[in-house]
Structure 1
Protein backbone atom coordinates (compact mmCIF):
# COMPACT_ATOMS: atom_id res chain seq x y z
CA UNK A 1 0.00 0.00 0.00
CA UNK A 2 1.21 3.50 -0.83
CA UNK A 3 2.35 5.75 1.99
CA UNK A 4 1.14 9.36 1.77
CA UNK A 5 2.28 12.34 3.83
CA UNK A 6 0.85 15.82 4.05
CA UNK A 7 2.80 18.66 5.66
CA UNK A 8 1.10 22.01 5.99
CA UNK A 9 1.46 25.47 7.52
CA UNK A 10 -1.58 27.44 8.64
CA UNK A 11 -1.77 30.66 10.58
CA UNK A 12 -5.46 31.60 10.44
CA UNK A 13 -6.75 28.05 9.98
CA UNK A 14 -7.62 28.39 6.27
CA UNK A 15 -4.87 26.11 4.98
CA UNK A 16 -5.49 23.66 7.81
CA UNK A 17 -9.14 23.46 6.73
CA UNK A 18 -7.96 22.76 3.18
CA UNK A 19 -5.65 20.05 4.54
CA UNK A 20 -8.55 18.42 6.40
CA UNK A 21 -10.80 18.40 3.33
CA UNK A 22 -8.04 17.10 1.04
CA UNK A 23 -7.18 14.38 3.57
CA UNK A 24 -10.88 13.51 3.67
CA UNK A 25 -10.88 13.01 -0.09
CA UNK A 26 -7.84 10.78 0.19
CA UNK A 27 -9.24 8.60 2.99
CA UNK A 28 -12.54 8.40 1.10
CA UNK A 29 -10.49 6.78 -1.66
CA UNK A 30 -9.49 4.10 0.85
CA UNK A 31 -5.94 5.38 1.40
CA UNK A 32 -4.45 6.43 4.72
CA UNK A 33 -2.52 9.67 5.05
CA UNK A 34 -0.19 11.01 7.70
CA UNK A 35 -0.91 14.69 8.29
CA UNK A 36 1.70 16.88 10.03
CA UNK A 37 1.55 20.54 10.98
CA UNK A 38 4.85 22.27 10.10
CA UNK A 39 4.80 23.69 13.65
CA UNK A 40 5.58 20.15 14.86
CA UNK A 41 9.02 20.62 13.25
CA UNK A 42 9.19 17.66 10.90
CA UNK A 43 12.50 17.05 9.14
CA UNK A 44 12.43 17.14 5.35
CA UNK A 45 14.38 13.86 5.23
CA UNK A 46 11.21 11.99 6.26
CA UNK A 47 9.79 12.67 2.78
CA UNK A 48 12.03 9.85 1.49
CA UNK A 49 9.87 7.35 3.38
CA UNK A 50 6.67 8.17 1.46
CA UNK A 51 5.37 7.46 -2.02
CA UNK A 52 3.07 10.49 -2.11
CA UNK A 53 3.75 13.99 -0.81
CA UNK A 54 1.31 16.84 -0.33
CA UNK A 55 2.57 20.20 0.88
CA UNK A 56 0.31 23.05 1.92
CA UNK A 57 1.09 26.61 2.89
CA UNK A 58 -0.49 30.00 3.09
CA UNK A 59 1.29 32.86 1.37
CA UNK A 60 2.84 35.43 3.66
CA UNK A 61 2.95 39.10 2.70
CA UNK A 62 3.34 39.77 -0.98
CA UNK A 63 4.40 36.32 -2.11
CA UNK A 64 6.59 34.62 0.49
CA UNK A 65 6.60 31.25 2.17
CA UNK A 66 5.57 31.46 5.81
CA UNK A 67 8.56 31.72 8.17
CA UNK A 68 7.62 28.43 9.84
CA UNK A 69 8.13 26.63 6.49
CA UNK A 70 11.57 28.09 5.68
CA UNK A 71 13.78 25.58 7.53
CA UNK A 72 11.89 22.65 6.05
CA UNK A 73 12.10 24.23 2.59
CA UNK A 74 15.88 24.65 2.92
CA UNK A 75 16.31 21.08 4.21
CA UNK A 76 14.56 19.78 1.09
CA UNK A 77 17.73 20.64 -0.86
CA UNK A 78 19.29 17.50 0.64
CA UNK A 79 16.42 15.15 -0.23
CA UNK A 80 16.11 13.26 -3.52
CA UNK A 81 12.42 12.95 -4.36
CA UNK A 82 12.82 11.20 -7.69
CA UNK A 83 9.80 9.01 -8.37
CA UNK A 84 7.69 10.51 -5.59
CA UNK A 85 4.20 11.72 -6.53
CA UNK A 86 3.49 15.22 -5.25
CA UNK A 87 1.03 18.09 -5.20
CA UNK A 88 0.75 21.44 -3.42
CA UNK A 89 -2.15 23.47 -2.04
CA UNK A 90 -2.59 26.70 -0.15
CA UNK A 91 -4.67 29.69 0.73
CA UNK A 92 -4.00 33.30 -0.09
CA UNK A 93 -5.41 36.76 -0.53
CA UNK A 94 -5.83 38.16 -4.03
CA UNK A 95 -5.33 41.64 -2.58
CA UNK A 96 -1.61 40.97 -2.91
CA UNK A 97 0.25 41.04 -6.22
CA UNK A 98 1.49 37.44 -5.96
CA UNK A 99 -1.65 35.45 -5.15
CA UNK A 100 -0.88 32.14 -3.42
CA UNK A 101 2.79 32.34 -4.42
CA UNK A 102 3.73 29.82 -1.70
CA UNK A 103 2.00 27.14 -3.78
CA UNK A 104 4.18 27.99 -6.77
CA UNK A 105 7.35 28.15 -4.65
CA UNK A 106 6.73 24.71 -3.14
CA UNK A 107 5.78 23.23 -6.52
CA UNK A 108 9.07 24.44 -7.97
CA UNK A 109 11.07 23.02 -5.05
CA UNK A 110 9.40 19.61 -5.37
CA UNK A 111 10.05 19.60 -9.11
CA UNK A 112 13.68 20.62 -8.57
CA UNK A 113 14.13 17.71 -6.15
CA UNK A 114 12.83 15.23 -8.73
CA UNK A 115 9.21 14.76 -7.63
CA UNK A 116 6.52 14.10 -10.20
CA UNK A 117 3.92 16.87 -9.79
CA UNK A 118 0.65 15.08 -10.59
CA UNK A 119 -1.79 17.98 -10.08
CA UNK A 120 -1.73 21.69 -10.66
CA UNK A 121 -1.46 23.51 -7.32
CA UNK A 122 -4.79 24.14 -5.60
CA UNK A 123 -5.24 27.78 -4.56
CA UNK A 124 -8.09 29.05 -2.39
CA UNK A 125 -9.00 32.64 -1.63
CA UNK A 126 -8.90 33.04 2.16
CA UNK A 127 -11.41 30.74 3.93
CA UNK A 128 -12.63 27.71 1.96
CA UNK A 129 -16.29 28.14 0.99
CA UNK A 130 -18.68 25.39 -0.15
CA UNK A 131 -17.30 25.18 -3.70
CA UNK A 132 -13.72 25.28 -2.39
CA UNK A 133 -14.48 22.44 0.03
CA UNK A 134 -15.64 20.28 -2.88
CA UNK A 135 -12.50 21.23 -4.84
CA UNK A 136 -10.33 20.20 -1.89
CA UNK A 137 -12.06 16.84 -1.53
CA UNK A 138 -11.75 16.23 -5.27
CA UNK A 139 -8.09 17.29 -5.14
CA UNK A 140 -7.45 14.51 -2.61
CA UNK A 141 -9.31 11.91 -4.66
CA UNK A 142 -7.63 12.99 -7.89
CA UNK A 143 -4.21 12.90 -6.23
CA UNK A 144 -4.76 9.21 -5.48
CA UNK A 145 -6.17 8.51 -8.95
CA UNK A 146 -3.29 10.16 -10.78
CA UNK A 147 -0.62 8.81 -8.48
CA UNK A 148 -1.48 5.27 -7.59
CA UNK A 149 -4.43 3.89 -9.56
CA UNK A 150 -3.58 2.21 -12.83
CA UNK A 151 -6.20 1.66 -15.48
CA UNK A 152 -6.73 -1.80 -16.87
Structure 2
Protein backbone atom coordinates (compact mmCIF):
# COMPACT_ATOMS: atom_id res chain seq x y z
CA UNK A 1 0.00 0.00 0.00
CA UNK A 2 1.42 3.36 -1.05
CA UNK A 3 1.17 6.59 0.87
CA UNK A 4 -0.01 9.36 -1.46
CA UNK A 5 -0.45 13.10 -1.03
CA UNK A 6 -3.00 14.99 -3.10
CA UNK A 7 -2.29 18.70 -2.67
CA UNK A 8 -4.13 21.31 -4.73
CA UNK A 9 -4.97 24.97 -5.30
CA UNK A 10 -8.36 25.78 -6.79
CA UNK A 11 -9.71 29.20 -7.71
CA UNK A 12 -13.17 28.28 -9.05
CA UNK A 13 -13.57 24.79 -7.58
CA UNK A 14 -12.70 22.94 -10.79
CA UNK A 15 -9.28 21.71 -9.65
CA UNK A 16 -10.84 20.79 -6.29
CA UNK A 17 -13.37 18.54 -8.07
CA UNK A 18 -10.48 16.89 -9.91
CA UNK A 19 -8.53 16.46 -6.64
CA UNK A 20 -11.55 14.90 -4.91
CA UNK A 21 -12.12 12.49 -7.80
CA UNK A 22 -8.48 11.42 -7.85
CA UNK A 23 -8.39 11.04 -4.06
CA UNK A 24 -11.58 8.96 -3.98
CA UNK A 25 -10.22 6.68 -6.69
CA UNK A 26 -6.91 6.13 -4.89
CA UNK A 27 -8.70 5.48 -1.58
CA UNK A 28 -10.96 2.96 -3.30
CA UNK A 29 -7.80 1.11 -4.34
CA UNK A 30 -6.87 0.81 -0.64
CA UNK A 31 -3.99 3.27 -0.57
CA UNK A 32 -3.32 5.72 2.23
CA UNK A 33 -4.14 9.21 0.92
CA UNK A 34 -3.74 12.63 2.50
CA UNK A 35 -5.96 15.27 0.85
CA UNK A 36 -4.84 18.85 1.39
CA UNK A 37 -5.41 22.30 -0.06
CA UNK A 38 -2.78 25.00 -0.46
CA UNK A 39 -5.46 27.43 0.74
CA UNK A 40 -6.70 25.74 3.90
CA UNK A 41 -4.22 23.05 4.90
CA UNK A 42 -0.79 24.20 3.83
CA UNK A 43 1.90 21.59 4.14
CA UNK A 44 5.60 22.32 4.46
CA UNK A 45 7.47 21.14 1.36
CA UNK A 46 9.85 19.17 3.60
CA UNK A 47 6.94 16.83 4.44
CA UNK A 48 6.87 15.57 0.84
CA UNK A 49 9.55 13.05 1.82
CA UNK A 50 6.90 11.23 3.90
CA UNK A 51 5.01 10.13 0.77
CA UNK A 52 5.63 7.56 -1.94
CA UNK A 53 3.53 9.45 -4.46
CA UNK A 54 2.70 13.15 -4.68
CA UNK A 55 -0.04 14.62 -6.84
CA UNK A 56 0.07 18.39 -7.16
CA UNK A 57 -3.02 20.11 -8.51
CA UNK A 58 -3.23 23.70 -9.57
CA UNK A 59 -5.33 25.95 -11.68
CA UNK A 60 -3.42 27.67 -14.47
CA UNK A 61 -3.85 31.01 -16.11
CA UNK A 62 -1.46 33.45 -17.70
CA UNK A 63 2.14 32.20 -17.46
CA UNK A 64 2.93 31.55 -13.82
CA UNK A 65 1.99 29.47 -10.79
CA UNK A 66 -0.81 30.78 -8.55
CA UNK A 67 0.14 32.93 -5.58
CA UNK A 68 -1.14 30.24 -3.17
CA UNK A 69 1.53 27.86 -4.47
CA UNK A 70 4.51 30.27 -4.64
CA UNK A 71 5.94 29.75 -1.12
CA UNK A 72 5.59 25.96 -1.38
CA UNK A 73 7.23 26.05 -4.82
CA UNK A 74 10.20 27.98 -3.47
CA UNK A 75 10.48 25.72 -0.41
CA UNK A 76 10.74 22.70 -2.70
CA UNK A 77 14.31 23.83 -3.40
CA UNK A 78 15.27 22.44 0.02
CA UNK A 79 13.76 18.98 -0.53
CA UNK A 80 15.30 15.90 -2.15
CA UNK A 81 12.51 13.93 -3.81
CA UNK A 82 14.63 10.97 -4.88
CA UNK A 83 12.51 7.81 -4.99
CA UNK A 84 9.22 9.75 -5.15
CA UNK A 85 6.74 9.85 -8.01
CA UNK A 86 5.18 13.26 -8.68
CA UNK A 87 2.19 13.94 -10.91
CA UNK A 88 0.43 17.17 -11.80
CA UNK A 89 -3.17 17.98 -12.68
CA UNK A 90 -5.46 20.94 -12.88
CA UNK A 91 -7.95 23.19 -14.57
CA UNK A 92 -6.60 25.26 -17.47
CA UNK A 93 -7.89 27.91 -19.84
CA UNK A 94 -7.09 27.84 -23.55
CA UNK A 95 -7.72 31.59 -23.72
CA UNK A 96 -4.10 32.12 -22.64
CA UNK A 97 -1.07 31.72 -24.91
CA UNK A 98 0.34 28.86 -22.82
CA UNK A 99 -2.02 26.04 -21.79
CA UNK A 100 -1.56 24.89 -18.20
CA UNK A 101 1.82 26.45 -17.44
CA UNK A 102 1.56 25.93 -13.66
CA UNK A 103 1.45 22.15 -14.16
CA UNK A 104 4.54 22.21 -16.33
CA UNK A 105 6.36 24.48 -13.85
CA UNK A 106 5.54 22.20 -10.90
CA UNK A 107 6.58 19.08 -12.82
CA UNK A 108 9.88 20.70 -13.80
CA UNK A 109 10.57 21.68 -10.18
CA UNK A 110 9.84 18.11 -9.01
CA UNK A 111 12.22 16.75 -11.64
CA UNK A 112 14.91 19.23 -10.55
CA UNK A 113 14.46 17.87 -7.02
CA UNK A 114 15.26 14.33 -8.29
CA UNK A 115 11.76 12.85 -8.36
CA UNK A 116 10.35 10.69 -11.08
CA UNK A 117 7.63 12.67 -12.85
CA UNK A 118 4.49 10.93 -14.09
CA UNK A 119 4.43 11.36 -17.86
CA UNK A 120 0.86 12.65 -18.12
CA UNK A 121 0.04 16.13 -16.93
CA UNK A 122 -3.74 16.06 -16.58
CA UNK A 123 -5.05 19.33 -18.00
CA UNK A 124 -8.80 19.96 -18.10
CA UNK A 125 -10.36 22.89 -19.94
CA UNK A 126 -12.06 25.07 -17.31
CA UNK A 127 -14.71 23.00 -15.49
CA UNK A 128 -14.50 19.19 -15.62
CA UNK A 129 -17.40 17.41 -17.31
CA UNK A 130 -18.33 13.72 -16.97
CA UNK A 131 -15.71 12.68 -19.52
CA UNK A 132 -13.06 14.69 -17.67
CA UNK A 133 -14.04 13.02 -14.39
CA UNK A 134 -13.53 9.64 -16.04
CA UNK A 135 -10.16 10.87 -17.30
CA UNK A 136 -9.26 11.86 -13.70
CA UNK A 137 -9.88 8.26 -12.64
CA UNK A 138 -7.79 6.93 -15.53
CA UNK A 139 -5.03 9.37 -14.58
CA UNK A 140 -5.13 8.13 -10.98
CA UNK A 141 -5.00 4.50 -12.14
CA UNK A 142 -2.01 5.17 -14.38
CA UNK A 143 -0.27 7.01 -11.56
CA UNK A 144 -0.83 4.06 -9.20
CA UNK A 145 0.48 1.62 -11.80
CA UNK A 146 3.62 3.71 -12.24
CA UNK A 147 4.01 4.00 -8.47
CA UNK A 148 3.87 0.20 -8.14
CA UNK A 149 6.87 -0.28 -10.46
TM (normalized to structure 2)? 0.95
In the aligned structure 2, how far is the partner of 1:78 from the partner of 1:140? 27
Residue 53 of structure 1: SS of its match in structure 2? strand
CA contact (8 A) 1:25 1:138 kept: no
- How far apart are residue 118 of structure 1 and its match? 2.4
Deviations 1:39-96 (A, max 9, x none): 1221101101111111000013x12110010000000000000110111001111011
Residue 77 of structure 1: SS of its match in structure 2? helix
- How far apart are residue 38 of structure 1 and its match? 0.5
- Flag the structure with higher strand content: 2
1:132 maps to 132
Residue 118 of structure 1: SS of its match in structure 2? strand
2:6 maps to 6
Alignment size in residue pairs: 148
Instruction: Note if 1:95 corresponds to 2:95.
Output: yes
1:3-152 maps to which residues of 2 (within 5 A)?
3-39=3-39, 40-60=41-61, 62-148=62-148, 150=149
In the aligned structure 2, how far is the partner of 1:54 from the partner of 1:83? 14
| 5+ residue gaps, structure 2 | none
| 5+ residue gaps, structure 1 | none
How large is the Cα RMSD of the aligned pairs?
1.1
